[in-house]
Structure 1
């Protein structure tokens, strides 16, 4: 038991996150464990999933590739076999290893609630790995001493088996008698009905992902229509599948992007193109997404701007002493600060980004560790994601429902998600009024109605999803490779071509004789056609 708890605590050391008692209400005495092993393993898998996928290099790079933010080397596609090594190794050694233990031991003890949750987590993790790397160890993975050199399965074959795995997970969750993990389940507190919705929404996501594969088209349409008819998808914010970070600095369990930015030195620049696009589009989410440390910062350390000081993607120039000047992450979804300061030279034609009710005088500040809560989130599968996916499939496959209605629901529910986020401890910012939300959504619907072709309407849907997915760059990265939307800026000085997949762990390639050659940047994964 002590060994298991130590493995669980190791997860938090990945990003200086050692405060498991803040995430979990579980046994605090490793020498006298008071709870079953499964009650320790399940939350450990969930923390590993959230930290390694949502808080690690995988999401950071995807965020930069998709120009939600920028970091010099990442924005120039300058990656090596070491770039993603930690997350690759940790997913196999921690999350997936513990998941297999839960499935095995839970089946033996008939704790099928745990088994079902573990299978759904497993399906999600492997789907992300295939999306990012293509072929990965699957059928021979995490077997321990019997097989330390697993073969790499084709991504297409892995995906096919994930649908089976999801169905098995749902069946296990529906078995009776049901033993709830309670608070050991960080996602849903043991609510199996919500887990079933999460599983079905994951299935919807994967079906949409493979819609371009010719041999899958008819099955995709049939299965998506069946999911719509069954009405067991995530459709409200209270059902969202989200990983939540904590608020404490010592021990550290805040969102990693808050940790890296709310201090004297910083890792990121805000992407200048993204900030300007939100400003020019009169998008009210700008004040929630970005915090300006001063009123005059502009691109590349200039001082005659409107405070939105960042860099364009792929900028190779050196970094000046601008940590106290550049813009940084705002309150949503990273737990930073809401920007209620006036914006200089704001066009009077804007309806939603105005200076009405802003601080007088302005109260910009240089952010530090005490600013904001750090209680950010990583959205895994949400009601707004469900609606954006259904809008996409309605337009591209003719699946059930009206794309316009799905678009309306997607934007509305994302604005509601921001409001819900602002009710969590420490995340202080103004709620978006219902009337403002309705007017904002109606303006976008007017643009949608003016679009005359399915392609033009899809462009509106996917651009809105792109804006809503701020905080989950992986989802936007998948969407972009599948649809080519949004239109991204060409990096100023790229080192490599746009990456159609990530590079394998160097350690895996050098220690596993069954590993393939290193990935290149230009070969797409199987569903990217």
Structure 2
């Protein structure tokens, strides 16, 4: 790609600043991106840091499209070639390039532990890119600067290659010693071989489920093979494939949503649609997801009058000077504040959202509030449980869909508790009795539903549990149409079925530049290969 040399160094520096948990890797004297002799213990954590940072913009955009966040243009289904350009460029010029170095050098040195991890990261990143953009460069992109105009390959072709790549990685993990030293060179799993094997199998599970509409036999056979072989998958929250952020500002390793919103200026509104979904269904996660800066702010597009002030999707109203009034991120997933202030319009119907212990007063947040020690959940125990429930309901794979539904909800509520009480956060936990009663309440609704309603219940709870990972919610919504989302108030376009390509890529890549406009226009209305 011809633009690599121009933005490579700036990209690395920016991502180290934007991503989390980079404290131990910021003060490196040599540039790990251009080493004379690649140092695997420096390159591997750099890939994990930059992977997390590179996915920031696409994660925000997908969260807005699925009505968990709000910005004006994106919530009106408008996108252009600059919206996700930073993510696209950084993934190709930084993350994937460094991963190829780790794979190459790890293979040469027979350090199969590094090689296995890098291959699994590569498979995960490319699967996300196919899910978001559809057709993308793959084989040519791995060749770096030797190919200036990488050919775009179909998403279906790439998925087939990713299944093979995951199997290669799992085989590599079982070659020789798996001994990452220091263990901090692996930020995510601290060199835990079993954890990476579980991640690889869970990624395969996710991809098989993703293709169930267009390749149902392959999807069912793949999932059945994993289950019948008792292949290790993520089964506890401690095994989550996720990136945990830190608490420091210098160097900056806080959750990016905390950094942008816990200051005077703010980038986002919370989605009023999402707020009201949780409020109307009496979901106790409401106080953990959102923090009110005021107790009662009612305007035309905020009818609740309880201070949970966001905006409805597609609202084209100009933004007034309301940064000190709008609701913002809470303790989960961004490491912000827990909302312990009274809610003034609760009724007797509210069981799980209550004013018990609500003795605080809302405040205008600053960067000294909360810790920023949040999480980017890539593939979690809760997600795996919901995937297995969906598969059982739609493909007939083994597993008790109802139990998996219950386990998925429980797992996520416990994840909220973990973030609430760790790394400098100080939120109260959801009591065991509350968790049990809430799961029982949702189970009663599941039991009362027909087959379609049961799938809706699974996908709705998965959607709520994926707050913080809009990418997966965007995937699920396009695949299932669930949960039902409100129509934008003033849409500028149809709901985008793919994200817009980087305008830089389209203009500089000779393999596509002659049809750039056609390709970009088609992104809005062309489904990815698994979206039937």
Q: Give TM-score scaled by structure 1 length.
A: 0.94
Distance 1:244 1:301 in 2: 35
Match of 1:17 in 2: 18
**Matched residue SS, 1:310:** coil
Report the CA distance between 1:76 and its aligned residue.
Answer: 1.1
**Matched residue SS, 1:242:** strand
Distance 1:82 1:25 in 2: 29
Match of 1:260 in 2: 260
Match of 1:526 in 2: 529
Report the CA distance between 1:36 and its aligned residue.
Answer: 6.4
Report the CA distance between 1:434 and its aligned residue.
Answer: 0.8
Q: Which deviations, in whole Å up to 9, do the C-alpha atoms of 1:316-360 show, x marking residues without a partner?
A: 11111111111111110001100010000211221111111111x
Match of 2:371 in 1: 373
1:443 to 428, 441, 444: 441
Distance 1:62 1:27 in 2: 33
Q: Is 1:485 aligned to 2:485, yes or no?
A: no
Report the CA distance between 1:174 and its aligned residue.
Answer: 1.0
Distance 1:500 1:243 in 2: 27
> 1:27-106, aligned counterparts within 5 Å?
28-30=28-30, 37-53=39-55, 56-106=56-106
Distance 1:231 1:30 in 2: 41
Match of 1:282 in 2: 282
Q: Is 1:233 aligned to 2:260, yes or no?
A: no
Q: Which deviations, in whole Å up to 9, do the C-alpha atoms of 1:46-74 show, x marking residues without a partner?
A: 11111111xx2100000000001101111
Deviates more, 1:227-236 or 1:295-304: 295-304
Distance 2:93 2:302 in 1: 46
Match of 2:389 in 1: 391
> 1:17-416, aligned counterparts within 5 Å?
17=18, 22=23, 24=24, 28-30=28-30, 37-53=39-55, 56-181=56-181, 182-213=183-214, 216-229=215-228, 230-299=230-299, 305-359=305-359, 362-416=360-414
Distance 2:12 2:68 in 1: 27
Deviates more, 1:282-291 or 1:421-430: 421-430
Match of 1:3 in 2: none
Distance 1:296 1:155 in 2: 48
Report the CA distance between 1:18 and its aligned residue.
Answer: 8.3
Report the CA distance between 1:29 and its aligned residue.
Answer: 4.3
Q: Give TM-score scaled by structure 2 length.
A: 0.93
* 8 A Cα contact 2:21 2:245, kept in partner: no
**Matched residue SS, 2:12:** helix
Alignment RMSD: 2.2
Match of 2:3 in 1: none
**Matched residue SS, 2:377:** strand
Q: Is 1:461 aligned to 2:458, yes or no?
A: yes
Deviates more, 1:35-44 or 1:258-267: 35-44
* 8 A Cα contact 1:131 1:478, kept in partner: yes
Distance 2:189 2:437 in 1: 33
Match of 2:418 in 1: 420
